[in-house]
Every structure is written in C-alpha cells, then in structure tokens.
Amino acid sequence: PETRTATQVGIEGLYRFLPNEQLYIGARYNQLSGQLNARVRDAKGAMDLSANRLEIAAGWYPVNNLLLKVSYVNQQYNDYPVSNILHEAEFHGAMLEAVVGF
C-alpha cells in the first residue's frame, strides 16, 4: 500500500470553579492535515486535505455523576475538490449534552 502522511495539532484549556469545582468553562482547537483519504487524488497521488474544529463549552455538575454541558462548535473541511461531498463542508452550531456516569 501507498504510504500517506498526516499531521494533527490540538490544544485544550479548562478552568474549574465553585467550591467543589462543579462548574467549568473550556475551549478546544484541533487541526488535522495531510493525505487523509487515499481515494481523494490528483495526478500526483493522494491530495493534501485539512479539517479544523473549535469548540467553546461550559459544564455543570449538579450532582457527582451528572454533567450538563452546553457548547458552540465551528468545524470546517478544507482543500477537498469540487467533486467531493466534503468540498467546503462545515458545521457551526450549539450542542446541549447531559451525561450520567456510573
């Protein structure tokens, strides 16, 4: 098989507050670039593609095993050819989550 390369960079920050650290705010950025899909090709071989994601969130633990989280996400797919379904694809929106841990 053909060898492909990819690079991923991510950074995350989180700040917890209130007496039991039950409330937090945070942000996460992730970028992935390289020859991500062997089927997306040009005359030279697999094309260099990229995807970026930024998420800003706040969460609250009302009790020990329950997390309520709200976040805003901005995700983009870049450098895909016009014929690919991911050409100029993006997602911008809010997410609401509730997580129960056991």
DSSP 8-state secondary structure symbol assigned to residue 4: -
Tokens of 18: 């209130």
pLDDT tens digits along 50-87? 999 999 999 999 998 999 999 999 999 998 888 888 88
CA 55 to CA 22: how far, in whole Å?
A: 20
3-state secondary structure of 33: strand
CA 33 to CA 6: how far, in whole Å?
A: 6
Give the start-to-end residue ranges of the domains of the chain.
Answer: 6-100
Checking if the pLDDT of 92 tops 80, the result is yes
Q: Which residue would you say has higher pLDDT here, 50 or 38?
A: 50
Tokens 């492909």, located at residue: 4
Q: Which residue would you say has higher pLDDT here, 86 or 90?
A: 90
